[in-house]
Structure 1
Amino acid sequence: MATVSSEVASSSPLERDARLVHADGHKVSPGELALGVIIGRTAESFDFFVYGIASVLVFPALLFPFAEPVEAMLYSFAIFSLAFIARPIGSVLFTEVDRRHGRGVKLTIALFLLGGSTASIAFLPSYEAYGALPIVVLAICRIGQGLALGGAWDGLAPLLSLNAPEKRRGLYTMMPQLGSPFGFIVASALFYFFYANLAQGDFLTWGWRYPFFVAFTINVVALFARLRLLATEEYVELLQKGDLLPESVWTIVSSQWKYILIGAFVPLATFALFHIVTIFPLSYIDLYTERSVADFLLLQLGGAVLASIGVVLSGLIADRFGRRNLIAACAALIALFGFATPSLLGGGPEGETIFVLAGFSLLGLALGQSTGATASNFRGRSRYTGSGLTTDIAWLIGAGFAPLVALGFSSRFGLVAVAIYLLSGAVSTLAALYVNRRLQLHAA
């Protein structure tokens, strides 16, 4: 097997041992790469959705019993946002770990931090028992999740795209995005089981903790799946060519800031929609309707299945009509969906059902090419770090504060505020696509 050039940091025992274990001359196919990437993304999404669902069903009652229901939910969503603020910081810190010690060490630390932070939340006591201390602990664990997710960027999505068969780039680009609906399916199914089958007191005492325990095991599995891919010849060869080398964050920001900024705004419509159909409507149903939360979770699980289908379709459509055209069309559809949101989500059970099924379907279609959108402007040595940092900023701007903003403004001004939020994301995406096109034409 080829050796890594001297300029590539080595995580001595970890990466070398992994390569020795798998040094059997076997070349990993794009399909095997896809499976490893999907497993990794599913683990990350599972951790975040377990927390997101608990931020609606558990934390307001457990940690903020002194507040009114809407106020308690807003406090919970404020802590929810901390991970997205910490994520770019995690990218900066873990990029240096990658540069100094190698990707194996970086991923091991990041995924154990992610799983450990999530599993630690399972031991959280109540406000009634320890006062404000559990709130502080939850905030620290949430920041740990964000730092870890910034460090979990492994460059395997670009590797998968570069190894894709000719004229199938869109199809292979969408595969990592399957992790989001898959993670939501597992998280919502676990919460549905405990929420639907336990008395409310038992659920708030111990039932909600089990999904958090599962997180650590899932992250260990994901870690070994990723280390298996880091041991492949393809990965080492790309490192040697400089395509996946970690570059200094400051170097990337100073030289590529325009593309980072544009790349962060291109998927904004998609990322704005992301928590509007996953986390926010669950809080709306809990606070403002008589509908069973368990039934709504089951409905969202079905929506996530439709989102998975939408992600796959996005790859087929992008290969046929182009990624840019698909992203622009999805932004326009998200704007229309935003206009319909007040009448759907506020229209009783039938409207709520249409909102969830249509919203998840549209989310899958739009999400499928979002990674490719953020990475498309980066080449060579800037691809790995530039793509990761751009993705972090896009999630921060588009999704990090979505539940907090949507609930805060809708509680005061009605669901029309959610429509305006989605419309602003769609306008930002279309504007970024236009500016990006102008820059590309100017560069040519």
Structure 2
Amino acid sequence: MTTIDTAPEPAPAAGSGGLRRVAAAALTGTAIEFYDFFIYGSAAALVFGRVFFPGLGPTGALLAAFSVYAAAFLARPLGAVLFGHFGDRAGRKATLVASLLLMGLSTAAVGLLPGYRSWGIWAPVLLTVLRLCQGVGLGGEWGGAALLLAEYAPAGRRGRYGGFLQLGPCIGFFLATGAFLLLAWWLPEPAFLAWGWRLPFLASVLLVLVGLFVRLRIGETPVFRAQHGRSRVPVAEVVRGHGRVVLLGAGAIMLGYGLFYLTTTYALAYATGALGLARTLVLALLMAGAVVMAATAWWTACAGDRYGRRRLLVVATVLGSLWSPALFPLLETGRTGPVTLALVGSMAVLGALLGPLAAYLPELFPTRIRYTGAGLTYNLGGVLGGATAPLVATRLTAVYGSAEPVGRYLAGLGAVSLLCLLALPETRGHRLLGSPVAAPPARG
């Protein structure tokens, strides 16, 4: 069990202007990296089966596209270890710049990749390699960006500032979905299949330039600068001394990952394919859901400073477990009202699950290994909850002829997440582990 230190910590040496700059850097970079990651999910659901796996049939092609999609999740813990090693030893800033570059260049390369009919088997092979590079880049992103905010923010407002980070995935998803929605309105199907899907990937180059400009203007975190001594092999120290916390933390966020990728990726493919719903309708509803998700993520992030981060995560996990069995039956009605409730309702629950994490996970680990520990926990949760969810859902639907069993699978993930959360400590009101202790006030 993690020991929570109640000794006071000194206020971070950053004024409100510095904190705003750090928040903007974390929000901008994370939004761009998640945009890059999410556009693959949309493309996998809508087009990659036909472009890169045309000979496998509809179900086989979708499974193949989702398998490559899952490969990035397997690479994310590797990215957390790799970038975490340098982030814990050399600093947070440079590592975040490197992760942004790797993610952006890999994404742009997907937009230039010829399809199966031009390059044969090399097309899906290279797609898999680039997807793995995306996973490594994103694996190094979230933990470092969370640390920027946690190590700069005042102790009583870490949840609020962490909320800026958690808006990043919401904005990234909104932009990614909006890009494909605009293309669906603008282009006929043959043009979209031939070249239109490439445009969101190529646009990543411009977004990365914006992210670099913002990130290069911030300094190293005061908590890291004040840390005495560096871990020689951070991942070894994490596994040896904090392995239980990593596993429990990863299990605690499985439901959030599973619900997110089943709602935003598998539901998109299922609704526009098997159910025959209009692509523009489903994409528009997911964009509306992203706005709702941002609102609930911000509220729970800020409320965590008052009510406790674990407490809110427990409530959100129970709510998500109860909601999961209703998701696909509502979707399968095919009517606009229930479909709207299914997608937007799921995104609202997701925001509640997402909001407190940017403050909670960094607070579980000491400064010397915080980048590796928080990043590995977050991305291992992605492997357990997000990587396999679309694959499991595709197989369950093929076997049972309906997606209703997928909701029960999600509820099972929720039960495991709840048990893991109950075994973790509350961190609200305590100082960051390993940060310097403030001197007691002088008596006059």
Smaller-chain TM-score bracket: 0.7 to 0.9
Match of 2:415 in 1: 427
* TM-score of the two chains, using structure 2 as the length reference: 0.87
1:404 paired residue number = 391
Matching of residue 238 in structure 1 with residue 224 in structure 2: yes
Counterpart residue number, 1:3? none
Question: Residue type matched to 1:325 in 2?
Answer: R
Q: Deviations over 1:91-124 (max 9, x none)?
A: 2333444467655553343222211110001112
1:372 alignment partner in structure 2: 359
Quote how far apart the aligned CAs of 1:300 are. 0.7
Range with greater deviation from structure 2 (414-423 or 96-105): 96-105
Question: Equivalent residue for 1:302?
Answer: 288
Which residue of the other structure, out of 114, 123, 131, is the alignment partner of 1:134?
A: 123
SS at match of 1:348: coil
1:2-57 CA distance string (max 9 Å, x none): xxxxxxxxxxxxxxxxxxxxxxx987432222111110110111001111101111
Question: Cα gap change, 1:119/1:61 in structure 2, threshold over 3 Å: closer, same or farther?
Answer: same
3-state SS of paired residue (1:288): coil
The answer on whether the counterparts of 2:285 and 2:343 sit within 8 Å (CA) in structure 1 is yes
CA contact (8 A) 1:99 1:246 kept: no
Q: How does 1:153-232 map to 2 (within 5 A)?
A: 153=142, 155-165=144-154, 167-229=156-218, 231=219
Q: Deviations over 1:217-253 (max 9, x none)?
A: 2123222322222x25xx1553332599785211221
Amino acid in structure 2 at the alignment position of 1:110: S
The answer for the alignment partner of 1:6 in structure 2 is none
2:350 to 359, 363, 383: 363
What secondary structure does 1:228 align onto?
A: coil
Who is 1:18 aligned against?
none
1:7 paired residue number:
none
Larger RCO (CA within 8 A; separation ≥ 6):
2
Measured in 2, the distance between the counterparts of 1:156 and 1:192 equals: 29
> Which residue number corresponds to residue 330 of structure 1?
316
Contact 2:71–2:132 (8 Å) recurs in 1:
yes
Tell me, what secondary structure is at the counterpart of 1:134? helix
Contact 1:243-1:379 within 8 A present in 2 as well: no
Pick from 250, 254, 277 the counterpart of residue 240 of structure 2: 254
* Structure 2 residue identity aligned to 1:75: A
1:284 is aligned to 2:273: no
Is the 2:272–2:282 contact (alpha carbons within 8 Å) kept by the matching residues of 1? no
**Secondary structure of residue in 1 paired with 2:112:** coil
- Which of 240, 253, 256 is residue 267 of structure 1 equivalent to? 253
The question of 1:348 aligning with 2:334 is answered yes
Equivalent residue, structure 2, for 1:10:
none
Q: Aligned in 2, Cα 1:369/1:104: closer, same or farther, shift over 3 Å?
A: closer
Unpaired runs of 5+ residues, structure 2, are 1-13, 427-444
The Cα of 1:421 is off from its aligned counterpart by 2.1
User: CA, structure 1 residues 151+292, in 2 after alignment: closer, same or farther (shift >3 Å)?
Assistant: same
Report if the CA contact (8 A) 1:244-1:384 is conserved: no
For residues 379 and 179 of structure 1, what CA distance do their matches in structure 2 show?
A: 25
Instruction: Give the fraction of aligned pairs with identical amino acids, expressed as a percent.
Output: 33
Alignment of 1:21-170 (within 5 A): 28-98=17-87, 103-153=92-142, 155-165=144-154, 167-170=156-159
Deviation at 1:198, TM superposition (A): 0.8
Runs of 4+ more than 4 Å apart: 25-28, 96-105, 242-247
Give the Å deviation of 1:268: 1.8
- Cα offsets for 1:146-165 (capped at 9, x unmatched): 11222335634234234434
Tell me how far apart the structure 2 counterparts of residues 169 and 104 of structure 1 sit (CA, whole Å): 19
SS of residue in 2 equivalent to 1:155: helix
Distance of 2:393 and 2:422 partners within structure 1: 27
1:208 deviates by 0.8
In structure 2, the CA distance between the partners of 1:36 and 1:52, relative to structure 1 (3 Å rule), is same
Count of residue correspondences: 413
Q: TM-score, normalised by structure 1?
A: 0.87
CA positional deviation for 1:437? 4.4
Query: Which moves more between the two structures, 301-310 or 166-175?
Result: 166-175
Matched AA of 1:119: A
Is contact 2:163-2:302 (8 Å) kept?
A: no
| Counterpart Cα distance in 2 of 1:244 and 1:263 | 24
Following the alignment from structure 1 to structure 2, what is the Cα–Cα distance between the partners of residues 264 and 374? 10
Whole-angstrom distance in 2 between the partners of 1:224 and 1:344: 44
Q: Distance in 2 between matches of 1:391 and 1:136?
A: 27
Is the 8 Å Cα contact of residues 224 and 367 (structure 2) preserved in structure 1? no
- Please tell me whether the aligned partners of residues 107 and 134 of structure 2 are also in contact (alpha carbons under 8 angstroms): yes
In structure 1, stretches of 5+ residues that fail to align are 1-24, 439-444
Contact 1:94 1:106 in 2 (8 A): yes
Q: Which moved more, 1:326-335 or 1:308-317?
A: 308-317
Please tell me whether residue 312 in structure 1 is matched to residue 312 in structure 2. Answer: no
Q: CA RMSD in A?
A: 2.5
Moved more, 104-113 or 137-146: 104-113
- Alpha carbons 2:83, 2:140 under 8 Å: kept: yes
